[in-house]
Amino acid sequence: MQTPLTLRELTEEEAVGLRALAQGRKAEVRLRDRARICWLAHQGRRVPQIAAELGVCQATARTWITRFNAAGLDGLRDAGRTGRPPTYTAAEVGAVIEASLTKPDELGLPFGCWTLGRLEAHLNETLGIRIKRSRIGELLVAEGLRWRQQETWFGDRPDPAFAEKRGPSSRSTPSRLRVVS
């Protein structure tokens, strides 16, 4: 059988705060329920009685009484959780953003604008950052950058000698529309 768990002596300030939290309606429900566990323990009730009255298991009641004994009212709040470590370091994310903001011409690459595929290839091969296109897009959006697909058939051509390389227009296309009178 487990030893009886009791709540430590409360200061006047703690007692007022705990009572207000346990009986209040403005706090989060889980915080209020934890405060009720401790308030009932402060009134002299044992863990099995508290668990039966509030509809929680005895382990839950013991956990919150123990945490309150150790840290006071702050012990009733949720503790931080670690979660999964980040896949990419801050330096790698910075390198992705920096590369995306740099013109490919300045890096000596044979194209004038980035696409997600080209940026992915550059990061993988040149910088050694193994990252997928979808993740690059997520990082750019998270930084407030809008990614748009550049339409090469519209607007200025990146190649100044494009018209010479293209050659003459097709003769089958009329130069202007005829107006029928």
**65-111 pLDDT per residue, tens:** 999 999 999 999 998 888 888 899 999 999 999 999 999 989 888 88
**139-180 pLDDT per residue, tens:** 999 998 876 655 555 555 567 777 677 776 666 666 666 677
> What pTM does this model have?
0.50
Which residue has 């508290």 as its token pair?
Answer: 50
Residue type, position 110, single letter: P
Question: How far is 91 from 141, CA to CA, in rounded Å?
Answer: 17
Give which of 132, 122, 134 is closest to 98, Cα–Cα. Answer: 122
Thinking of the domain 12-76, which architecture would CATH place it in?
Orthogonal Bundle (1.10)
pLDDT of residue 112: 84
Asked if residue 57 has pLDDT above 60, the reply is yes
**Average pLDDT value for residue range 124-148:** 89
